[in-house]
Amino acid sequence: MLALIPFAFVKMPWGAVWANAKGDAFRGIVTHFLCWMTIRSLLGYGMVDGRDGMIAGSWLLGGLLLACFVIAVWHAAQDLRSLDRLGLWTGYTAAFAATVSMVIFYGILPNHLFGERLTNWFVHGGLNSVTTGLTFGFALMWLWCIRERITKRRERLLLHISLVILLAAVCFTRCRGALLALLAAHAALTWIRGYRRAALPWAALLGAIVLFQVTGPHVDKLVRWQVASRVAGHNLEPSHSATPIQEMLTRWDGGRTEIYARAMRGFIEPHEWLIGVGQWGPAEHFTRSLSYMHMHHHSIFIATLVHGGIIGLGLALCVLFIGLRRAHALAREGEDTWFVLLVFGCTGLIFDGQTLTNLLSIPQMEPLLVTFPLIVAASAWWLRKSSEGLRTQ
């Protein structure tokens, strides 16, 4: 995937891209945001030898790839029906990945138990459950958004099967961020479509949550039977609770409170609140030095404040605000996919994510959850506005 981005960049019809984007305030603010975050980091610590130089080079490469990705998505947004097909196959692929992951982790591998927090087996042999829940949830909402436009019988059947699988998969990740993002996205869907058209997605979500809770005691008995039947060499502790929803709501916050407090204490000089400490270097590392596992700030908003200060966070919020306004305007015209997905992404990354300025981040989900729907909405809105302006001339 990453190798295709430079190729797409080279093959891009630049004349059409710049003609469509000329004079767009959104594009200008995005450019200022990316430049500010990069220049602040370079002026703060620059490029040095050794490991820090490699980290800085990785950030610069990730920023360049993100810029290529943004331009490619801007151009792709000229055909929203093709993106519906992309969403359909994304949902199918996510459902396939979820099915294989559940079969492997819950039925084949001897050192795993049924009902443990689900991860994506296709990514590093088991992607983090939070990232898994958020990406599966994103694919789930994309399918709900395009469901009414899918008319072929076989495709609708596969779509409904995928919806059921992804609902189960998100529940088994037991990711609170994914559940919160799903609730916000369903609320956005209801706001745009009304209660009647949003009734089925709500019924499916609430039904899945209730079923997951009701079957908790039975799953707990199955897990304990699995533990008792395993050979002595596998000392496994059951991780599935008889009341999984209560466990999700009362579970420890993963140290996020301490992480955010440490990030705020990392501003040593008063001016750092305004301009941040940069995206790499000793000052940035100091803001996340609780332990060797503290690799990022687990919130795109906290991370942006730390890296770019109030200026960087303000620019990011302006970009998101304009993107949400444009997505909402599209939704009122019948294109509600991008508003719902953007609400999902912004909500899901309140308590997770590393950065909005790097395609090579540690979680590697921010470009999918936020950048992709943000740029599609902004570009599609601008294209429609430009077309209307030409018609009125």
Question: Mean per-residue pLDDT for 77-81?
Answer: 90
**Dihedral of CA 245/373/350/132: which sign?**
positive
pLDDT bracket for residue 393 (50, 70, 90): very low
Query: Could you write out the DSSP letters of every residue in 198-239?
Result: HHHHHHHHHHHHHHHHHTHHHHHHHHHHHHHHS-TT------
The residue among 10 and 34 whose pLDDT is bigger is: 34
- Distance in angstroms (rounded) separating the CA atoms of residues 126 and 120: 5
Judge contact between 369 and 345, C-beta under 8 A.
yes
The residue among 178 and 284 whose pLDDT is bigger is: 178
Q: What is the mean pLDDT of the chain?
A: 84
Nearest-5° angle of CA 306, CA 177, CA 114?
130
3-state secondary structure of 242: coil
Q: List, for residues 306-347, the tens digit of each pLDDT value.
A: 999 999 999 999 999 999 999 999 999 999 999 999 999 999
Could you tell me the CA-to-CA distances from 219 to 37, 163, 172, 206, 211 in Å, in that order? 47, 22, 11, 19, 11
Q: List, for residues 225-234, the tens digit of each pLDDT value.
A: 777 776 544 5
pLDDT at 2 over 50: no
Which range among 196-200, 288-292, 298-302 shows the weakest confidence by mean pLDDT?
288-292
- The count of other CB atoms within 10 Å of the CB of residue 339 is 27
pLDDT at 214 over 90: no
Q: What is the pLDDT of residue 339?
A: 97
3-state secondary structure of 120: coil
Q: What is the pLDDT of residue 387?
A: 73
Question: Mean per-residue pLDDT for 287-310?
Answer: 82
pLDDT bracket for residue 16 (50, 70, 90): low
> What's at 28, amino acid-wise?
G
- Distance in angstroms (rounded) separating the CA atoms of residues 215 and 213: 6
Nearest-5° angle of CA 227, CA 232, CA 236?
40
